[in-house]
């Protein structure tokens, strides 16, 4: 399936996403003023969102990445979270903000938060581009949420289906 063949309407344009990134970046700047902040992006989907958010945070910060997944090549979460790439920065005594593309079941983020807390940061919060609360099975919520979405299989702006469609400059969805 070529990118141009995607069915479904555009849910959020690139302009919508940039505007929301600016709003959240300003809020994060206020909330973390005077603190040591580390942004940890979840690979691969959160990369475009993280780039937009960090441009709007007016603080000294560090960045790192983690790769964890519960999907594989399917459209439904397997429920089993695997960490494939760990962070490299020391987070003890610092503020951690996980940058995520979408909170779906919440299993991956709950596992990541629990894992990071073992490393003794001051706090671990979540900034997500998209939140899909209708699918939540784990007790986790976003602290900074771009947009709430219905129970659709979302693609674009970093989100993929079997590694395709990440490069769409907007958020759309795959139809059955």
Interatomic CA distance for residues 97 and 87, integer angstroms: 13
Please pick, among 101, 104, 131, 160, the residue that the annotation labels catalytic.
104
| DSSP-assigned letters across all residues of 82-132 | EEEE---S--TTSEEEEEEEEESSSHHHHHHHHHHHTT--SEEEEEEEEE-
CA dihedral 163, 146, 106, 140 (to 10 degrees): 160
Cβ proximity of 42 and 87 under 8 Å: no
Omega of the bond prior to 44 within 30 degrees of 0, cis?
A: yes
DSSP one-letter code for 44? T
104 catalytic per annotation: yes
Interatomic CA distance for residues 158 and 60, integer angstroms: 25
Cβ proximity of 105 and 132 under 8 Å: no
- Positions annotated as catalytic residues are 104
């Amino acid at each position: 399936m070529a990118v141009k063949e995607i069915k479904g309407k555009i849910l959020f344009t690139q302009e919508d996403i940039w505007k929301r990134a600016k709003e959240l970046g300003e809020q994060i700047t206020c909330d973390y003023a005077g603190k040591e902040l580390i942004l940890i992006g979840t690979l691969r989907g959160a990369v475009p969102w993280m780039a937009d958010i960090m441009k709007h945070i007016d603080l000294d910060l560090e960045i790192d990445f983690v790769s964890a997944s519960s999907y594989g090549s399917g459209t439904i979460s397997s429920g089993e979270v695997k960490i494939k790439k760990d962070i490299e920065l020391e987070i003890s005594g610092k503020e951690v903000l996980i940058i995520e593309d979408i909170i779906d079941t919440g299993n991956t983020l709950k596992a990541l938060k629990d894992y990071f807390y073992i490393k003794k940061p001051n706090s671990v919060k979540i900034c997500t581009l998209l939140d899909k609360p209708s699918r939540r099975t784990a007790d986790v919520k976003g602290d900074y949420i771009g947009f709430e979405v219905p129970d659709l299989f979302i693609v674009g702006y970093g989100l993929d289906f079997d590694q395709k469609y990440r490069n769409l400059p907007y958020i759309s969805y795959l139809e059955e």
